[in-house]
């Protein structure tokens, strides 16, 4: 049993040397038994979700959701997939529940500006990232009724997060202020902000297997910052590729798949210099970089349950990429307009911390 003291109510850490140990290939929770193997793709501009069968690599369903769906988010209890429809520059944001056993959507729940969503490590709150409002809204994870809000006034563009190994704090990226904010989840307060040395637009963030370091993708710096979580201090930088955006640990917890969107622009062109860099967690070195043949824009996604395929949206090419994690070979599947935070389901793990499947 772990010696890490965790937040009361949070599942204990099984292996403190690898907090991804319970999300390795084959460790599917009994709760997901019977869930359809599918890839759910939210299309930001066409306001719909495409559903892909990963066995056939074909689109098998499509359904309308709210305005500007950004991410498909697995719930903490693994029973629901939430589509976050943030309705940019509007006031009709919503969350659409999807039943993973049928792949069908339910009735949307009105929610303020749900750009992204996470879950507290103890499962007691859904954390809606209200990006435009510079605010985190803690809500009932079932009904989405508001519990309390936490303003983050110095974090313009708050959007992605990851959580400490003990569940006591989280670090969120501040896309429009080139930095990070650290949140005390126990005392419910902001602990501080930092600016990254050459950061222009930090995006996704992921913690190291031993829980000590946080890796931060920055689409302007074209690489990944490494931050000491406890000290809340930048300690390293890894050059990867143009428009660095998404971060996904391999199923064995040894590598980090880094997506390079191929453009430094928020609204980039199709067929950019898109690629995926494979970073070694232990050495902070890039082992190999897989380009997208003909150019592309790999953005957000996740790894298949068996770890053999990295699924990513092609943000400005209206496709989904399936990267073979052994060879780097790419399969492309046509989807809707401007696909974003796709979710692969089911995934191994005891519970989900949100985003597109941050499993522990």
Tell me the per-residue pLDDT of 283-318, one tens digit each, with 9 for 90 and over.
999 999 999 999 999 999 999 999 999 999 999 999
Tell me the two tokens of residue 265. Answer: 């622009």
Q: Summarize the confidence of residues 7-18 as an average pLDDT.
A: 92
pLDDT digits (tens, 9 = 90+) for 71-105: 999 999 999 999 999 999 999 999 999 999 999 99
Q: Under DSSP, is residue 85 helix (H, G, I), strand (E, B) or coil?
A: strand
CB 69, CB 84: distance < 8 Å = yes
pLDDT digits (tens, 9 = 90+) for 49-69: 999 999 999 999 999 999 999
- What is the rounded distance in angstroms from the CA atom of residue 30 to the CA atom of residue 270? 41
H/E stretch holding 315 reads none
DSSP assignments along 91-143, one per residue: S--EEEEEETTTTEE---EE-S--SEEEE-TTSS-EEEEEGGGTEEEEE-TTT
Query: What pLDDT was estimated at residue 194?
Result: 97
Residue 4: band (very low, low, confident or very high) from pLDDT cuts 50, 70, 90: confident
């Amino acid at each position: 049993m772990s010696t890490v003291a965790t937040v009361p109510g949070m599942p204990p850490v099984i292996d403190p040397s690898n907090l991804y140990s319970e999300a390795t290939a084959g460790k599917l929770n009994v709760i997901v038994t019977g869930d359809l193997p599918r890839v759910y793709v939210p299309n930001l501009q066409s306001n719909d979700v495409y559903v892909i069968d990963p066995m056939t690599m074909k689109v098998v369903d499509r359904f309308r959701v709210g305005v500007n769906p950004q991410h498909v988010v697995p719930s903490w209890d693994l029973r629901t997939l939430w589509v976050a429809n943030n309705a940019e520059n509007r006031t009709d944001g919503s969350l659409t529940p999807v039943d993973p056993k049928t792949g069908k959507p339910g009735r949307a729940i009105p929610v303020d500006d749900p750009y992204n969503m996470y879950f507290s490590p103890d499962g007691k709150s859904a954390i809606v990232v209200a990006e435009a409002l510079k605010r985190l809204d803690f809500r009932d994870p079932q009904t989405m009724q508001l519990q309390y809000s936490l303003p983050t006034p110095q974090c313009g563009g708050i959007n992605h997060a990851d959580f400490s190994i003990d569940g006591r704090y989280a670090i969120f990226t501040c896309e429009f202020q080139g930095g990070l904010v650290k949140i005390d989840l126990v005392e419910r307060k902001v602990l501080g902000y930092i600016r990254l040395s050459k950061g222009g637009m930090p995006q996704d963030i992921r913690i190291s297997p031993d829980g000590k370091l946080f890796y931060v993708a920055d689409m302007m710096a074209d690489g990944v910052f490494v931050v000491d979580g406890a000290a809340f201090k930048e300690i390293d930088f890894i050059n990867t590729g143009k428009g660095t955006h998404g971060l996904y640990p391999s199923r064995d917890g040894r590598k980090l798949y880094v997506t390079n969107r191929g453009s430094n622009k928020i609204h980039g062109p199709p067929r950019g210099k898109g690629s995926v860099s494979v970073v070694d967690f232990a050495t902070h070195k890039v082992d190999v970089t897989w380009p997208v043949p003909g150019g592309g824009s790999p953005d957000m996604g996740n790894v298949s349950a068996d770890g053999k395929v990295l699924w990513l949206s092609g943000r400005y090419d209206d496709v989904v990429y399936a990267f073979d994690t052994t060879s780097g070979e790419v399969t492309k599947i046509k989807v809707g307009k401007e696909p974003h935070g796709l979710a692969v389901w089911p995934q191994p793990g005891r519970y989900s911390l949100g985003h597109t499947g941050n499993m522990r």
